[in-house]
Amino acid sequence: MQKPDFWEDKNRAAEKSKELAVLKGEGDRWERIKSEIKTLAELLQISEEDEEFQREAILKIGELEKRIGALEWELYFSGKYDKGNAILSVYAGAGGKDAEDWAALLLRMFRRFAEKKEWKVKTVHEHWGEFQGPAGWGIKNATIIIETPYAYGYLKKESGVHRLVRISPFSAQSLRHTSFALVDVMPEFVPPEEVEMKPEDLKIDFFRSSGPGGQNVNKRETAVRITHLPTGLQVASQVERSQDRNREMAMSILRSRLYQLTLKQQEEERRGVQNEKVKIEWGNQIRSYVMHPYQMVKDHRTGVETGNIDAVMDGELDEFIEAEIKL
């Protein structure tokens, strides 16, 4: 940060400033705990005969253990971008109306998870479906940014196919239906030097953002869609008020997706696995959510399961995410 040209790249400078703030905050938290432990130990020696103080000290020790436990989780986040914000996208898969409704339910689940932790959630893009269901209007795909230290570290293993089994709300015969949705989690910021994006490889389109059911919500073409021609990757941003801001947001997301694709290809080459596009359908799911004929949520990687599906759909994901982190 002391380099004369540090602020020439404002986006990179802002990210480095955030990184410094996170590191300082991390150090300060450990120093406060260290100081409290030292003070408590000294007071315990002085007050060995004071039973009331000893009881209060035991409660204080319990509180410190919880705080240390929370900080210890951060030791699992050693990835390059684990400390940063997360971009989370949900895509409806096989299943038509049911899949679009399922994608909307999943998006709400992750929003509730973040809100309960008082993390900031920002909508980037929503491609609405044409029908309403239990979750309101269905979605074909949507992207949000979750802003908090370690958001990507916490959520990156939620990437994958999520499967739902239930009585279809769209079936006149009340038939059981299986739906699929793909969740994709990426780091929010990837430096431009990490990923090469040639101007001639990008197709940029402008369009009007729309609301549920195709309702027009913006008469100006401020929304931006960028297609990376060599890979076919496509991203969009529609929530900012100007084309420039939406274009900047879409470029950032595309850079993150290309970075993620590169890492995946490198890992598959290392393991000798052929690179294939994940199909959003049966056989690829990482977690199943069953509402009928019984209630259960089961993660197929960790074996963690629960019968309280209502709590999970309301954002109670800690048990699943903690098990994923420890894998």
Q: First vs last Cα of the chain: how many Å apart?
A: 36
Residue 91 CB partners (closer than 8 Å, separation 6+):
103, 140, 141, 181, 182, 184, 280
Residue whose tokens read 């994901």: 317
Tell me, yes or no, if the two domains 86-191+285-325 and 193-271 fold the same way.
no
For 136, what's the count of Cα atoms within 13 Å in the CB-facing half-sphere? Answer: 9
- Domain ranges for the chain: 6-76, 86-191+285-325, 193-271
What's the confidence (pLDDT) of residue 211?
Answer: 67
Tokens representing 293? 């004929």
209 φ/ψ angles, rounded to the nearest 5 degrees: -70, 150
**Are 272 and 147 spatial neighbours (Cβ–Cβ below 8 Å)?**
no
Average pLDDT of the chain is 85
CATH number of 193-271: 3.30.160.20
- pLDDT score, position 216: 56
Structure tokens at 236: 């969009």
Q: How much is the pLDDT for 135?
A: 65
Ranges of beta strands (E only) in 190-322 are 202-207, 223-228, 233-237, 285-290, 296-299, 305-306
pLDDT at position 273 is 47
pLDDT of residue 26: 81
Amino acid at 200: E
What top-level class would CATH report for the domain 86-191+285-325? alpha beta
Distance CA 157, CA 121 (A): 18
Kindly give the confidence (pLDDT) of every residue in the chain, 327 residues in length, as a single tens digit, with 9 standing for 90 and above: 889 899 888 878 887 888 888 788 888 988 988 998 888 888 777 777 777 777 788 888 888 888 888 778 778 888 888 888 999 999 998 778 899 999 999 999 999 999 999 999 999 988 888 777 766 788 999 999 999 988 999 999 999 999 999 999 888 788 889 999 999 999 987 877 788 889 999 999 988 776 676 555 555 678 899 999 999 999 999 888 788 889 989 999 999 999 888 888 777 666 654 444 556 555 578 999 999 889 999 999 999 999 999 999 999 999 999 999 888
CA distances from 174 to 166, 168, 169, 171, 291 (A): 10, 6, 7, 5, 13
